[in-house]
A and B are shown apart, each in its own frame.
Chain A
Amino acid sequence: MSETPATASGAASPDAAGEIVSLYAAHQKIYARAVSGWFSTWRWALVWGTQILFYGLPWLQWNDRQAVLFDLGARRFYIGGLVLHPQDFIYLTGLLIVSAYGLFLFTAVAGRLWCGYACPQTVYTEIFMWFENRIEGDRAKRMKLDAGPWNGQKLLRKGGKQFVWLAFGLWTGFTFVGYFTPIRTLAAEAATLGFGPWEWFWILFYGFATYGNAGYMREQVCKYMCPYARFQSAMFDHDTMIISYDTARGEPRGSRPRSAPHASLAQLGKGECIDCSLCVQVCPTGIDIRKGLQYECIGCAACIDVCDSVMDKMSYPRGLIRYATQNGIDKGWDKAQMLRRVLRPRVLVYTAILILILTAFGASLMLRTPFRVDVVRDRGALARLVEDGRIENVYRLQVMNGTEAPQRFRIEVDGLKGAIIAGKSLVEVGSTESRWVAVSVQVPPETAGSLGAGAHPMRFNITRLPDASGGEISVHEKSTFVVPR
Chain B
Amino acid sequence: MSDFFNSGWSIFIAAVTILGLAACLLLLVVASKRKVMANDNTTGHVWDGDLRELNNPLPRWWMILFVLTVVFAALYLVLYPGLGNAAGKLGWTSAGQYDAEQAKAQATMAPLYAKFTSQGAEALAKDPQAMAIGERLYINNCAQCHGSDAKGSKGFPNLTLPVESRLATDSFDAVKATITNGRQGLMPPMAAAVGSSEDVKNVANYVLSLSGSPHNATAAQLGKEKFAACAACHGPDGKGLKALGAPNLTDKVWLHGWGEEAILAMVNNGKTNVMPAQASRMSPEQIHVLSAYVWNLAQASPQK
Footprint of B on A, CB under 8 Å? 1-2, 4-8, 11-27, 220, 224, 378-381, 383-385, 387, 389, 392, 394-396, 423-424, 436, 438-440
Contacts and interface: CB of A to CB of B under 8 A. Distances in A.
Contact of B58 (A6, A21, A24, A440): A24
A220 B59 contact: yes
11 contacts: A6-B52, A19-B36, A25-B57, A380-B156, A381-B147, A384-B151, A385-B258, A394-B149, A396-B139, A423-B302, A438-B147
Contacts of A224: 58-59, 62
Contacts of A6: 40-42, 52, 54
Contact of A1 (B37, B55, B259): B55
Given A6-B41, A12-B46, A25-B60, 14 more contacts: A6-B54, A12-B40, A14-B45, A15-B44, A16-B38, A17-B39, A21-B33, A22-B33, A23-B58, A25-B59, A387-B252, A394-B147, A394-B148, A395-B148
B55 A23 contact: yes
Interface in B117-156: 139, 143-154, 156
B164 interface: no
A24 B258 contact: no
B50 interface: yes
Nearest to B139: A436
A389 B153 CA distance: 14
Contacts of A23: 31-34, 55, 57-58
Contacts of B252: 387
B149 A4 contact: no
B23 interface: no
Contacts, number: 138
A53 to B, nearest CB: 33
Contact of B38 (A18, A25, A384): A18
Contacts of B156: 380-381
Interface in B43-82: 44-46, 49-50, 52, 54-55, 57-63
Contact of B37 (A18, A22, A383, A439): A18
A385 B257 CA distance: 8
B147 A380 contact: yes
Given A4-B39, A6-B40, A19-B36, A27 B55 contact: no
A384 B153 contact: yes
Given A6-B41, A21-B33, A381-B156, A11 B59 contact: no
Nearest to B150: A438
Contacts of A7: 40
Interface string B251-272: 0100001110000000000000
B143 to A, nearest CB: 7
Q: Which 6 A-B pairs have the closest CB atoms?
A: A381-B153, A438-B148, A25-B57, A438-B149, A11-B46, A384-B153
B303 interface: yes
B281 interface: no
Nearest to B40: A6
